[in-house]
Structure 1
Amino acid sequence: MDVDFGGADDILFERSGHAGIVTLNRPAALNAVNHRMVRALTRALAAWEADAAVRLVVIRAEGRAFSAGGDILDIYEAGRAGDPPFDFFADEYRLNAAIARFPKPYVALINGIVMGGGVGVSFHGSHRVMTGNAVFAMPEVGIGFFPDVGGSHFLSRLPGGFGLYLALTGNRIRHGDACAFGLATHSVPADDLPALLRRLCETGDADASLAVDARAVAAETEDAVMDAIARHFAHDTLDGVLGSLAADGGEWANAMHATLMARSPTSLRVTFRQIRTGATLTMDDCMRMEFRILSRMLVGHDFYEGIRAAIIDKKSTPHWRPAALDAVAQADVDAYFAPPAGGDLSLQ
């Protein structure tokens, strides 16, 4: 039974058996999350939380991507027009927090790319199912931004410096690494997803349904690289990380150092502090912190410059301001973590 929560064709909702089913339905845009989708999913979760007949929620997607992130072209155009979309991010962050506290099983079926805003609507749920086609990344530093949508909460809790590594480099991982570090809770073959969905709807029991279909998978990243990540990304400062990579001299370390040095200096320093701070915060407090950072990023230079270079002008070289890490003062970083003029984000 289809249900209308105001998402038009961008996001679809239906009731089937014991499940409320959400389908991201913008395959031509790689299911980029927009404001209409955020608002509709928020309404659906509120309704299904109160509906005793809905025992679990399933979120899936049409096409070859689960969701490549937020709709950054909309964000770019609004910001350049002098109307930064604060309301979109506020509603998105409230949704991320609502998913994290949702009292019923929330099962994300992730087949294809999942990044940024797509991570925000999937990885805070109780069951995070990835197929062999899934690719995870939080690549925001590459466009002068930061790993938001709760990145400060889940990345900061990964062992062995792995979360900081993902946050600062923006590198991609697949289902084996995601399962090994607890980002994903299960791996299921892509061909088994239709049967899994039917079982979820029929039984309303996420754990029992996944016990039938889940498969053990090995991590993709070699032990030597895992050891290098743990060694280099365990330092207490960003300069310590960079110095460690530079002193190593090996091919992998040199590549990681070059990757970081191409990023926005401001984004690197803010992201390093964000991830380190997030390890001590609740999910709600992480979202408030991220809104503080966001409030500064949306009126700054590097986010829009990063989008221009990567998306508008297609792989051109971004011109960061400031262009060097040494030019980013501690006071500049502190300002990103100060309460915004309009006050902290309300999560209710």
Structure 2
Amino acid sequence: MAKEAASSDQGVVIGEEINQHVRLLTLNRPKQLNCISSETVSLLAEFLEKWERDDNVRLIVIKGMGRAFSAGGDLRMFYNGGSGDSCLDVVYRMYWLCYHLHTYKKTRVALVHGIAMGGGAAISVPSEISVVTEKTIFAVPEASVGLHTDCSFSYILSRLPGHLGEFLALTGATLNGKEMIDVGLATHFVPSEKLPELEKRLLDSDTGDKDVIRTLVDDYSSNVRPDEESVLNKLETINKCFSASSVEEIIISLKAEAVLEGNEWMGHFLKGLKRASPTGLKITLRSIREGRQQTLPECLKKEFRLSMNILRSLISSDVFEGIRALSIDKDNAPKWNPKTLDEVTCENLDLVFQAFTDELELKLPYEAESCRWEEKYENTVYSLKQV
């Protein structure tokens, strides 16, 4: 068994050649809950491209070191970058990588034990086989800190049952492993005590045949249903509220429903919406709604524009204030600007959604297989501008 590469035993991503046909990718920032850094994105892309091009490779297993699969993007990286294009490199590379994660040609099994949030979950959800446990926690909390639901989730969430996608994106609500199985964000539930043995069986295999691998994972998996108190058992109410046409109307609907007997659970989410960035909420709702009518490449290009315009503080600096309050000073008292939903105008929203000129758009190699791993950051006008 050989460790490949650009990563040492202490690298943020460890790539291992287990045998002739099997490779293991390990996200290796356990103290940071495997948050995604610029180096993480670059190494993931490097390994995945190399292994997809290698005819000997048939199966790739992906896992996280420690108690998290990945808690998402490294917020401090964005905060330290400040307004402007200092994080352009990693943002571009992450969206480019998301396309390849959704369209990868080799069989992948993601072992999602512990936290899987935002960009971290974007690594696991597109896998043909995604294994979760009783300790898995999924969430997309970006809107609450002034970001938006990113890394392909305007595509993924907009295709969940009813208006569950809007609910998850706007409230940052968590789902456990059972709930992820129920809505299709994972394929298999395996009790955590069985996970080491399953991993060993996968690494000892010599095939990438999806049916064979599914059967192998089936041997360790359990049939599960959401618990009685799960929000998924309240989907009728969620659909009623989160089908409203604006964030303001969603909140009005939630308030009306929350006073009814049996709806006490809604109070928590109402409080969360009131604490969240008004700008982040409005951008996120529009992005999810647009996502229903968009292809994966269209969603990724849109999300790239949103991310860059938000980091450039085009209409608000809420993302930096949100990160400050959550991760830097940890006072949990952000001062949003604009302060209210009413102050976030349609005209300003149009600005952050406006298409870039063609040369500045995210480039995705989806038109021909021959250029599948082209359109990298280094080959764009952005790279030239950074010189």
Q: TM-score, normalised by structure 2?
A: 0.86
RMSD of aligned Cα (Å): 1.6
- The amino acid across from 2:253 in the alignment is S
The offset of 1:309, in angstroms, is 0.6
The offset of 1:203, in angstroms, is 4.1
Hey, what's the Cα distance between the residues in 1 that align with 2:233 and 2:182?
A: 15
1:68 to 61, 67, 71: 71
| Secondary structure at the counterpart of residue 219 of structure 2 | helix
The offset of 1:257, in angstroms, is 2.3
Hey, what's the Cα distance between the residues in 2 that align with 1:34 and 1:90?
A: 13
Q: Which deviates more from structure 2 when the two are superposed, residues 153-162 or residues 336-345?
A: 336-345
2:360 to 336, 343, 346: 343
Hey, what's the Cα distance between the residues in 2 that align with 1:316 and 1:242?
A: 22
Residue 178 (structure 2) pairs with residue 176 (structure 1): yes
Hey, what's the Cα distance between the residues in 1 that align with 2:252 and 2:246?
A: 10
Match of 1:282 in 2: 295
Aligned residues of 2:170 and 2:284 also touching (Cα < 8 A): yes
1:56 to 44, 59, 64: 59
The offset of 1:83, in angstroms, is 4.8
Match of 2:6 in 1: 6
The offset of 1:5, in angstroms, is 4.1
Hey, what's the Cα distance between the residues in 1 that align with 2:345 and 2:195?
A: 49
Hey, what's the Cα distance between the residues in 1 that align with 2:46 and 2:240?
A: 44
- The amino acid across from 1:26 in the alignment is R
Match of 1:145 in 2: 147
The offset of 1:279, in angstroms, is 1.5
- The amino acid across from 1:40 in the alignment is L
Residue 280 (structure 2) pairs with residue 271 (structure 1): no
Aligned residues of 1:137 and 1:172 also touching (Cα < 8 A): yes
Deviations 1:235-261 (A, max 9, x none): 233233122112224333333222212
| Secondary structure at the counterpart of residue 301 of structure 2 | helix
The offset of 1:103, in angstroms, is 1.4
Hey, what's the Cα distance between the residues in 1 that align with 2:326 and 2:352?
A: 24
The offset of 1:226, in angstroms, is 2.7
Hey, what's the Cα distance between the residues in 2 that align with 1:21 and 1:223?
A: 33
Deviations 1:71-92 (A, max 9, x none): 1112110126x55301101101
Match of 2:348 in 1: 332
Residue 28 (structure 2) pairs with residue 25 (structure 1): yes
Residue 43 (structure 2) pairs with residue 43 (structure 1): no
Deviations 1:19-76 (A, max 9, x none): 2110011111111111111111111111111212211211001111111111111211
In the TM superposition, 1:108-123 aligns within 5 A as 108-123=110-125
Hey, what's the Cα distance between the residues in 2 that align with 1:53 and 1:196?
A: 22
The offset of 1:222, in angstroms, is 5.3
Aligned residues of 1:115 and 1:136 also touching (Cα < 8 A): yes
Hey, what's the Cα distance between the residues in 2 that align with 1:224 and 1:209?
A: 31
Identity of aligned residues (%): 36
Residue 319 (structure 2) pairs with residue 303 (structure 1): yes
Residue 215 (structure 2) pairs with residue 213 (structure 1): no
1:315 to 325, 331, 338: 331
Deviations 1:306-334 (A, max 9, x none): 00011111133101110110011101111
2:250 to 222, 241, 245: 241
* Inter-CA distance 224–217: structure 2 relative to 1 (3 Å threshold): closer
Hey, what's the Cα distance between the residues in 2 that align with 1:265 and 1:60?
A: 35
- The amino acid across from 1:321 in the alignment is N
- The amino acid across from 1:100 in the alignment is H
1:198 to 188, 200, 212: 200
| Secondary structure at the counterpart of residue 121 of structure 1 | helix
Deviations 1:154-191 (A, max 9, x none): 11110021111000000111011111100111111112
Deviations 1:265-287 (A, max 9, x none): 11111100101111122212111
Q: Which runs of 5+ in 1 are unaligned?
A: none
Hey, what's the Cα distance between the residues in 1 that align with 2:41 and 2:72?
A: 12
